[in-house]
Amino acid sequence: MKAAHLLRVPDDGLARKATLAAAAALGEPFIDASSNDYLGLAAGFVSRETSAAGAGASRLIHGTAPEHQALERELAAWVSTPSALLFSSAYAANLGLVSALGTAGTVIISDASNHASLIDGARLAKAQVVVVPHLDLDAIDNALGAHRSARACWVLVESYFSMDGDGPDLSRLRTLCDAQDACLVVDEAHALGVFGPRGAGRCAEHGVRPDILIGALGKAVGSHGGFVAGSTALRSYLWNRARSFVFSTAPSPRLAALSLEQVRGAQEADEARKRLLNNAAALREKLLGAGLEVARNSFGPIVSIVLGDNERVLAAAANLRAAGILAQAIRAPTVALGAARLRLTVKSTFELEDVKRLASAVEAACRA
């Protein structure tokens, strides 16, 4: 790309700064002829305390603001990687990442329960895709062995699966990838902020360093957006090749500034994390004690009660709503046919009485 003069170097706002300085030196007004802010509304309502509402353009067309840079630095430091790249959503992050990685001659090995964004990214890629049974590390090892001659092998997993509330043995997975010279790509969307030191995720909790980590800001962080963290070379590659990044307007600088504060708050929320996991353990214990089929090997704040039948799970969710409790009925294609379930998400803000009431109401709804 560089030889063909096609490599776009992430300027992170440097070109805008240089142009502003040049205009000032000439005593001329700065003219922005790059932005898509056609009505001039993106910078509206800006004060010393607030950032611009809109970036006005993609990052490649001078859409970078200092707020993006500050957030990316904080995210990279949080998950202990050299760099991070902000996307408009975690879906966009996975879609852009996986489709960009999966070049011809490479192999993507994907857990069968991976999120739709990882699946769609693999479908858009030019790589060979191998889907392995959920959490079957032996199947991953066998797939890696069968594709040792591939240009590259990318192993895609979630650290905490959002439907079953379970996760892989990350330490063993890292060992398998190292032994087979493969790259480990871990989506920490539902684990970031919940597990690990300062909420840095399950990889940090287990002392595992993935080659690439994906994080979400719309879950435990309580904001919006997603990011890919890894090497500086990865960031530069995605800047050029991740289509969901290249062809999207940059996230709102105002939102990025808010997200930075939310990320810092999430890192300091150790007491809330402790309450969250205690509440989840208490609810799971009560539901199992009542004889309900809680998803096997689950842990953490996602508690799913597998009912199997679509009509039954819809009725159970309706019964809960009538009791003043909102819980989602999950059916195919989000989960496999015959695996319909009530998906409960526990909060740190629940009191013990809330947990007891929830458990009792769920048992009654499922029995009915």
Which among 180, 115, 170 is positioned nearest to 146, based on CA atoms? 180
How many CB atoms are closer than 10 A to CB 71? 28
The pLDDT, as a whole number, for residue 42 is 67
The pLDDT, as a whole number, for residue 38 is 63
C-beta of residue 140 within 8 angstroms of C-beta of residue 173: yes
The pLDDT, as a whole number, for residue 49 is 66
Alpha carbon 86 to chain centroid distance? 11
Positions of the chain with pLDDT under 70: 34, 36-49
Alpha carbon 43 to chain centroid distance? 29
Omega within 30 of 0 (cis) for the link into 133: no
Q: pTM of the prediction?
A: 0.92
List active site positions: 162, 190, 219
Residue 155's H or E segment, with its range, is strand 152-158
Class in CATH terms, 14-267: alpha beta
The pLDDT, as a whole number, for residue 43 is 66
Calpha distance 48→287 (Å, rounded) = 51
Which among 123, 108, 200, 124 is positioned nearest to 160, based on CA atoms? 200
What CATH number is given for 270-367 in this structure?
3.90.1150.10
The pLDDT, as a whole number, for residue 10 is 84
**What's the Rg (C-alpha) of the chain?**
23
Residue 24's H or E segment, with its range, is helix 14-26
Domain boundaries, the chain: 14-267, 270-367
Residue 1: CA count within 13 A, CB half-sphere: 9
Calpha distance 251→14 (Å, rounded) = 18
